[in-house]
Structure 1
Amino acid sequence: MEEMKQWIENHKRILQKAANALLAFVVGACLVFMIHPVKTLPKDRLLSLSRMQEDSQRFVASSSKDPTLEDLLSLELGREEGKTQNSWVTLSAFVKKFGKAASFTQEDTSFGAQVQLGYGTPVKGLYPYTIEFQKQGDAFYVSSIQGFAPKSAHYQSKKNLKLADFTDYKPLDGKKEKGTSVEEVLNKSGLPNSLSLTSTKDKQVLALSYQVTDGLVSLTFERDQSGQYRLTKKG
Structure 2
Amino acid sequence: MPLVKIKNRIFVESTSSSTQFTVDDSTSEVQNEYLETFDHLSDKKRRRYSRSGGFKTPEEIREMNRLRQRLRRERIKNGEPKPARTGRQKIFTEEEARLRRASQQKEYRQRQKVREDDEKSIEESLQHRIPVQSSNKDIDLVTLLKIHERNRLARHASYQRNYRKRQKERQKALENQQDKEPEPLPTFLQSIVEKAVEEKEKNRNRKKISSRRFADVAFFGHKDVAEEEKNFEK
TM-score of the pair, normalised by structure 2: 0.25
Larger relative contact order (C-alpha < 8 A, sep ≥ 6)?
1
Higher helix share: 2
In terms of Rg, which structure is larger? 2
Higher strand share: 1
